[in-house]
Structure 1
Amino acid sequence: MLEEMNQVRQAVEDALALAKKLGATDAEVSMSKQQGLSVGCRLQEVETVEFDYGGALGIAVWFGKRKGSASTSDLSSQALKKTVEAACNIAKYTSEDPCSGIADPSLMVTEIPDLDLYHPADINSDKAIEIALACEKAGLDQDKRIENSDGASFSSHQGFKVYGNSTGLVAAYPSSRHNLSCALIGRDGEDMQRDYAYTLSRVFDHLDSPEQVGKAAAKEVLARLNPRKAATAKVPVLFNSEIASSLFGHFISGISGGNLYRKASFLLDALDTQVFPEWLNIVEDPFIKQGLSSRAFDSEGVATHKRNIVENGTLNTWLLTSYAARKMNLTATGHAGGIHNWLISSGGGDFAAMLKKLGTGLLVTEMMGQGVNVVTGDYSRGAAGFWVENGIIQYPVSEITIAGKLTEMFKNIVAVGDDIDTKGSIQCGSVLVEEMQVAGN
């Protein structure tokens, strides 16, 4: 894989040189390639075994402010020549866009630290199948009420990214990712429920064991059996750690340049104002070793930086690509392609402590639907979870809707737990919101 990465690096340099030769004033070339296997089983029968090997090289060229793009999966010199020529020809027919172009050269990455992202595992299909089957079996064996399965799946992939542009930058890094998941179905009388568990890491040996994942999936399913309806009321709501990150996902949409320059965000005037309680901080750290969203540069080659996104509740920065930055007469922030390891401040204690802080109200463990309006901040989503009284879970609830305004929800966060979920780009614990409208259906 590392040898192939160096070959792609040479192809990127060749494509950039050819673009310059054909008269392009600027150009950028990138390629991400991945290889690995995925297996899936259901009810102890193997359903899928897939080997993945692919990737395409994309090139964008500019003639002044006219842009053309093309791509190819064939890296032969003849194919590269045709692809670059195609991009140049397309540029002749596009309209000028004064905000288009590669990122500011002064913002480009100059050093690529080793973030320890590459840990390939020597796992063949037999081993992968063994892992998936063991995971599902552990779940099925937990209780006679676990009578069906949506299956278990295991995947192990390695790959690399190479990026270059006409400033002379050519940068590359390899990475790996391993994942195991299990989804089970339980029945008690007429009631049927489904739930899942998963584990994810750059390092295979850091995954939870198949037995742990299967048992965790079974535990989640059994807890959800025989749900009740919740009464319509305004109550405190606790989002468990695995779904709490979705709240900050809406925040990301609100402060992203694409929505901002289109005037399509509920946070248009939020910069340098308090949007969360004073105790809440959000730190972005792109340089966490083995981090799932760690990277030294974004998809435009702009260097990433450790940032205080939110400090003492106050929003410090927008998230801007170079295009959005030009639209807003600002500077790109290195967020082309997304965020890089957001760390949400906690301190609310473990999950049991967060339940005590909730007191009497709703614990949400699943969300459905897409009822979030990023323009207005209106929030209304289907949900399921548990009714809690005096800090103790009483019974599961389903077919409910939770609603509010995102700006109010953010400011009314009471606590963030120390039960931090690290399986994503947003790392946070359970989040307690002081009050939301809960409607039983």
Structure 2
Amino acid sequence: MASRHDGFAYPQERLRDIAQEIVDYAKSRGATACEADVSEGVGQSVTVRRGAVDTIEYNRDKGIGVTVYLGQQRGHASSSDFSRDALRATVDAALSIARFTAPDACAGLADADLLWRGNESEIASLNLYHPWNISVDDAVELARYCEAAAFDVSPEIRNSEGATVSRQESQFVAANSLGFNAGFATSRHSLSCSVIAGEGEAMQRDDWYASRRDAHELPNAARLGDYAARRTLSRLGASRVPTCNVPVIFEAPLACGLISNLVHAASGGSLYRRSSFLLDALGEQIFSPIVQLREDPFVPKALASTPFDDEGVATKARDIVRDGVLQGYFLGTYSARKLAMKSTGNAGGSHNLVLEPGERSLVELAADIGRGLLVTELLGQGINYVTGDYSRGAAGYWIENGEIRQPVQEITIAGNLREMFRNVSAIGNDVIVRGGKQSGSIVIDGMTVAGS
């Protein structure tokens, strides 16, 4: 099939037809229920390092995933071949697997009354697809421009890990035997730069990046490179600090990571496996009362907007945390049934979590705490979600007399997520979006900083 002007090889209508063919064939072969996912993606990524092209990557892929049910026996198979024979062979393989699996009382399609029954105008209003027809040559020049701006900041910027320009476009359709058949196209484009300052053991690195649905909304490449360089330079001369117990400010990008920690602990898989410190925490005060966290799947152009989840369940805007109290979990159909609950439309993850910002800037937050630590980088994965224990390597800046002063490194910050959440004392107005999370910097009182 000839390529279309938007880069896809298949029109949406063809993906819908393929998905329906799979469902119809599965039913004809004896499946009591079936769901199918059909997807296609295309993109390119260009990295420049020290002005020279380092990598050029191009991807074009497609795939189908088929899940069938024989009663409550489940089978799954996948393929990248869209031919009719391959589609049928994939369904037959899934049916063969299902015959040998044990019945599971929680297995099955999403509840019919929860499925999305909207129309194309609702999808279009989210404005999620903005193809970027940038050539490889233009992408190389943009990456060079970004990296050159970083080198221009100071001769102390001595090396580079590269500047990258990437574009990605994808489309999908999901269908099931309850009559659901819908999908849409999305785009995601990004720009990043990472540079190194100093020499020998005194070298430091830092980076910055941005990702948007619409490439026209990416920041100016020179400004991004300049900012990456200034972040790197500010880390020169970093040292350790004595072990102490002080307030810690998580810079906005890392604050988004704390929201991800909450999502992990409040997700169905962790809950029904009893591997979360938030088990049975609905309605409990898990944060300080200043915390307001909302999920909004309907923000135009946002990176986690969608009218329905991976199972076709309609999404909804809702409070996750209100006045510090946990209002909702993140559940797909299977985990919801394991917990004797209903799906929350979160099969596949959360959708645009927005932490309500405070009124103070990062500088004002530092002035308020007087003495403490501003963390700008975290290392390692030292989180125990069963107990909530939290211990991670960190780097950032020491705060003394209310001023952000010398850079620090080779330290560890430790606490317990349950206590950390309750000890959130302030949220900044320096809001940033990282993927599907939006937050300002977060101040947590009373964490252990292990240094020299």
Q: TM-score, normalised by structure 2?
A: 0.96
SS of the equivalent of 1:184 reads: strand
User: Which of 346, 352, 362 pairs up with 1:341?
Assistant: 352
SS of the equivalent of 1:325 reads: helix
Structure 1 counterpart of 2:367: 356
Does the 8 Å contact 1:348/1:354 carry over to 2? no
Matches within 5 A, 1:124-163: 124-163=135-174
User: Which of 415, 433, 439 pairs up with 1:428?
Assistant: 439
Structure 2 counterpart of 1:186: 197
Structure 2 counterpart of 1:418: 429
Structure 2 counterpart of 1:206: 217
Structure 2 counterpart of 1:24: 31
SS of the equivalent of 1:422 reads: strand
User: Which of 378, 386, 397 pairs up with 1:375?
Assistant: 386
* 1:3-55 CA distance string (max 9 Å, x none): 52221111001111100110100000012321011111111110111111102
Q: Cα–Cα, structure 1 residues 59 and 414, in superposed 2: closer, same or farther, change >3 Å? A: same
Q: 1:98 corresponds to which letter in structure 2? A: A
1:81 deviates by 1.2
Q: For 1:241 and 1:358, locate their aligned partners in 2 and report how far apart those are by CA, in whole Å.
A: 17
1:188 deviates by 5.1
Pair 1:309 & 2:316 matched: no
Superposition CA RMSD, Å: 1.2
Q: Between Structure 1 and Structure 2, how many residues are aligned?
A: 441
Does the 8 Å contact 1:201/1:423 carry over to 2? no
Pair 1:217 & 2:217 matched: no
SS of the equivalent of 2:261 reads: helix
Q: For 2:281 and 2:291, locate their aligned partners in 1 and report how far apart those are by CA, in whole Å.
A: 16
1:131 deviates by 0.8
User: Which of 61, 73, 89 pairs up with 2:96?
Assistant: 89
Q: For 1:400 and 1:44, locate their aligned partners in 2 and report how far apart those are by CA, in whole Å.
A: 34
1:430 deviates by 0.1
* 1:264-309 CA distance string (max 9 Å, x none): 1111131101111112111100000000100011111111000111
Q: Does 296-305 or 109-118 show the bigger shift?
A: 109-118
Matches within 5 A, 1:162-173: 162-173=173-184
1:391 deviates by 2.0
Q: Cα–Cα, structure 1 residues 276 and 266, in superposed 2: closer, same or farther, change >3 Å? A: same
Q: For 1:354 and 1:439, locate their aligned partners in 2 and report how far apart those are by CA, in whole Å.
A: 22
Pair 1:280 & 2:287 matched: no
Structure 1 counterpart of 2:63: 56
1:423 deviates by 2.9
Q: For 2:268 and 2:75, locate their aligned partners in 1 and report how far apart those are by CA, in whole Å.
A: 23
Structure 1 counterpart of 2:408: 397
Q: 1:196 corresponds to which letter in structure 2? A: D
Does the 8 Å contact 2:247/2:445 carry over to 1? yes
Q: TM-score, normalised by structure 1?
A: 0.98
User: Which of 384, 399, 406 pairs up with 1:388?
Assistant: 399
SS of the equivalent of 2:434 reads: coil
* 1:224-261 CA distance string (max 9 Å, x none): 01101111010010010011111111111111111111
* 1:318-343 CA distance string (max 9 Å, x none): 11111111111110111110000001
Structure 2 counterpart of 1:4: 11
Percent of aligned positions with the same letter in both sequences? Answer: 43
Does the 8 Å contact 1:348/1:415 carry over to 2? no
Q: For 1:6 and 1:358, locate their aligned partners in 2 and report how far apart those are by CA, in whole Å.
A: 57
Q: 1:231 corresponds to which letter in structure 2? A: P
Structure 1 counterpart of 2:3: none
Does the 8 Å contact 1:34/1:55 carry over to 2? yes
Q: 1:297 corresponds to which letter in structure 2? A: F
Q: For 2:354 and 2:31, locate their aligned partners in 1 and report how far apart those are by CA, in whole Å.
A: 41
Matches within 5 A, 1:69-108: 69-108=76-115
Structure 1 counterpart of 2:331: 320
Does the 8 Å contact 2:256/2:434 carry over to 1? no
Pair 1:65 & 2:65 matched: no
Pair 1:240 & 2:284 matched: no
Q: 2:280 corresponds to which letter in structure 1? A: D
Structure 2 counterpart of 1:270: 281
Q: 1:95 corresponds to which letter in structure 2? A: A
SS of the equivalent of 1:141 reads: helix
Q: For 2:368 and 2:86, locate their aligned partners in 1 and report how far apart those are by CA, in whole Å.
A: 62
1:185 deviates by 0.6
Matches within 5 A, 1:287-306: 287-306=298-317
Q: For 2:75 and 2:273, locate their aligned partners in 1 and report how far apart those are by CA, in whole Å.
A: 23
1:192 deviates by 0.2
Does the 8 Å contact 1:158/1:175 carry over to 2? yes
1:189 deviates by 6.6
Q: 1:379 corresponds to which letter in structure 2? A: Y
Does the 8 Å contact 1:188/1:225 carry over to 2? no
Q: For 2:258 and 2:229, locate their aligned partners in 1 and report how far apart those are by CA, in whole Å.
A: 26
Q: Does 351-360 or 385-394 show the bigger shift?
A: 351-360
Q: 2:104 corresponds to which letter in structure 1? A: D
Structure 2 counterpart of 1:36: 43
Q: 1:107 corresponds to which letter in structure 2? A: L
Does the 8 Å contact 2:320/2:328 carry over to 1? yes
Does the 8 Å contact 2:68/2:75 carry over to 1? yes
* 1:184-211 CA distance string (max 9 Å, x none): 0110574000110111100011001110
Consecutive unaligned residues of structure 2, counting only runs of 5 or more, are 1-5
1:411 deviates by 0.6
Does the 8 Å contact 1:238/1:358 carry over to 2? no
Q: 2:40 corresponds to which letter in structure 1? A: K
* 1:117-169 CA distance string (max 9 Å, x none): 00101111111111111111111121111010111111011111210101010
Q: 1:288 corresponds to which letter in structure 2? A: V
Q: 1:192 corresponds to which letter in structure 2? A: M
Q: Does 406-415 or 245-254 show the bigger shift?
A: 245-254
Q: For 1:356 and 1:188, locate their aligned partners in 2 and report how far apart those are by CA, in whole Å.
A: 33
